[in-house]
Amino acid sequence: SYVIPGVKKLDMEMYSNTRESQTYTFSPDLEDLRIDFNFIIQVTLTPNLRKLYITTSLDSANFVSPELVKLEYLQLELPQIESFEETGIVAPNLKTLILTNCAKLSDFRNLEQFQNLKYFFLTNCGYPFGLFKEDSFPMLERFQYDGNGFLDPENFKTPLLTFPPNLNELSIKCRDFINIDLSTLMLPPTLTRLTLLDLSFNDGYFHLGENLQYVHIETSTLRFNSSFKIPHLAGELILEADYLTFDSPEFMYHLPNSLTRLQLIANKKGKMSPFIRKIKWPLELGDFAFKNFSIDYHTLELLNLKESILEVIYIRGGNIKKLNVDLFPVSVKNLTLMEMGIHELPASFKRLNNLRQLSLMGNQLRNVNSVRLPVSSLEVLNVRQCNLRLISPFLVSMFEESNKSAKLSIRATGNLNVNVIDVRIAMKAIKGLSLELNKFDETLREISNNSSRLSCIYGIFDPYSDEAESSGTSEIVPDYDSDDLYNGSVFTPDEDYSDEDDYSRRPNVIVEALGLISDDESDS
């Protein structure tokens, strides 16, 4: 017995090896009760409870309960119950119901008593097919489901999803929903937030309610017809599918002013008719992703990114050949141009003086001239799988007096033909440089074992290498002295090098190796 007069809140954790049922009673003054146990118990609930948490990982609980008219919050984790009626709980004024890990629960009919419910969350439970009707749960504002619908196989094959009429937030995350018929999917017009992850839909068109402010959908196939418009109050729109299709680009010319994030992600193939005029970007928009829509240089121009204030730009898939840095806004901090068919880089990225991360992954940049980077702000350069032979062309700005203390991390795995001498000289000359490469060379492995700035991972096949495509092998450049580490002892960590060593006394060697020969020197 835990009848303690005056106690309003009680938190109990009870663990025992006994298999015998134990009975617990509590003070009528109790308003907030939390019980965590691992054996069979019988609980006599008190009528003044406002919050109740019952959690077990093994057995179930038997409840002796009056009508709990004051109970507003109920959270249960009861893996053994098959019907909510087994709990015996009657709470006509319940506002919040959270069911977690109720793996055997398949009969939800007793939940219909909670018509005043406002928040209903299900995690790792079966989906409550048939519970919602168009006129039921009129007070429900938020429904969140995260789990699998396997407990009702008949409904699960052709699920008909109906929702309460006044729902504001709907979130369903389920790996196994199959072929939801979009013609019967009736989302309440009151919805302001919609999250649908890992559901599958038939071949119809998806429609978004006009009051939606947040949308996040991830599925296999998603289609929007030519009349599609982003809801006028939308702040975030994230659409991700293996196959993402827009019958018309018209919606891109009418982006709502409230939009802060727009992500159109096709993991396999995106389809949209060509732009015919420039995009006008909302002043609030800071994050834009556009994946696998195979854009060309003209499309990149019409995107009109330079007129935006975007801070995050992610574009993947295209054929723009020569990159023009003037097409991007000065505001950008994280710029990803992945697999864009870029063969030629601009001489300088320095106008992008807010840039912190730049990814050019998957572009064929085999022959790169000197590229000046805004290293005063840039922290990470990703040139993975770019078929590079030299790292040094990206380092010219590191030698400017104003950038002597700059630090730059270059991620360059997947470039299996990188010149080892170039890497060694660059690492020796630039103390602020850290580099990530593959373990394709013994010298690099030895250096990485003694240097905190060089990381080598195990070798991988480089799908972007011309040599790899033609012969299935990669050329390894054997032009190094294996006795040297940054032109020093293999067993000497980089921290032991001082400014007085032989490389710092021979700056011209470094300058020449990095392609920084001055005009005077080149004329002599």
Q: What is the DSSP string of 284-338?
A: T--EEEEEEEEEEHHHHHHHTGGGS--SEEEEEEEE-EE--GGGS-TT-SEEEEE
* Mean pLDDT, rounded, for 255-267: 98
CA 290 to chain centre: 14
Q: 3-state SS string over 102-152?
A: CCCCCECHHHHHCCCCCEEEEECCCCCCCCCCCCCCCCCCEEEEEECCCCC
Banded pLDDT at 144 (limits 50, 70, 90): very high
Q: How far is Cα 245 from Cα 224, in angstroms, rounded to an integer?
A: 6
Q: How far is Cα 177 from Cα 200, in angstroms, rounded to an integer?
A: 6
pLDDT, tens digit, for every residue of 105-123?
Answer: 889 999 999 999 999 999 9
For residue 230, which amino acid is it? I
H or E, element range at 264: strand 261-272
Give pLDDT, residue 155.
56
Higher-confidence residue of 462 and 288: namely 288
Q: What's the DSSP call for residue 274? A: P
Q: What is the DSSP string of 417-485?
A: T--HHHHHHHHHH-TTEEEEEEE--HHHHHHHHH-SSEEEEE----TT-HHHHHHS-------S-TTBS
- Residue environment code for 311-325, b if the CB has 16+ CB neighbours within 10 A, otherwise e: bbbbbbbbebeebeb
Higher-confidence residue of 63 and 512: namely 63
**Strand pairing of 287-296 and 312-319?**
parallel
**3-state secondary structure (DSSP) of residue 197:** strand
Q: What's the DSSP call for residue 503? A: T
The partner residues of 54 in beta bridges, in order of sequence, read: 35, 76
Q: How far is Cα 490 from Cα 501, in angstroms, rounded to an integer?
A: 15
Q: How far is Cα 300 from Cα 326, in angstroms, rounded to an integer?
A: 11
* Mean pLDDT, rounded, for 267-283: 97
* Mean pLDDT, rounded, for 245-260: 98
H or E, element range at 521: helix 519-523
**3-state secondary structure (DSSP) of residue 165:** coil
* Mean pLDDT, rounded, for 260-271: 98
The whole-model pTM stands at 0.85
Give pLDDT, residue 502.
35
Instruction: Kindly give, in sequence order, each residue whose CB lies less than 8 Å from that of residue 503, ignoring residues fewer than 6 positions away.
Output: 425, 428, 429, 486, 487, 509, 510
pLDDT, tens digit, for every residue of 214-234?
Answer: 999 999 999 999 999 999 999
Q: What is the total residue count of the chain? A: 524
Instruction: Kindly give, in sequence order, each residue whose CB lies less than 8 Å from that of residue 353, ignoring residues fewer than 6 positions away.
Output: 330, 374, 376, 377
**Strand pairing of 22-25 and 454-458?**
unpaired
Q: How far is Cα 228 from Cα 212, in angstroms, rounded to an integer?
A: 14
pLDDT, tens digit, for every residue of 411-429?
Answer: 999 998 899 999 999 999 9
In angstroms, the Cα distances linking 49 to 10, 22, 78, 85, 90 are 11, 21, 19, 19, 12
Banded pLDDT at 21 (limits 50, 70, 90): low
**Strand pairing of 119-123 and 73-77?**
unpaired
Q: What is the CA radius of gyration of the chain?
A: 31
With CA atoms as reference, report the closest residue to 417 among 372, 359, 476, 358. Answer: 476
Cα angle 48-53-57, degrees, rounded to a multiple of 5:
145
Residue 438 has pLDDT above 70, yes or no: yes
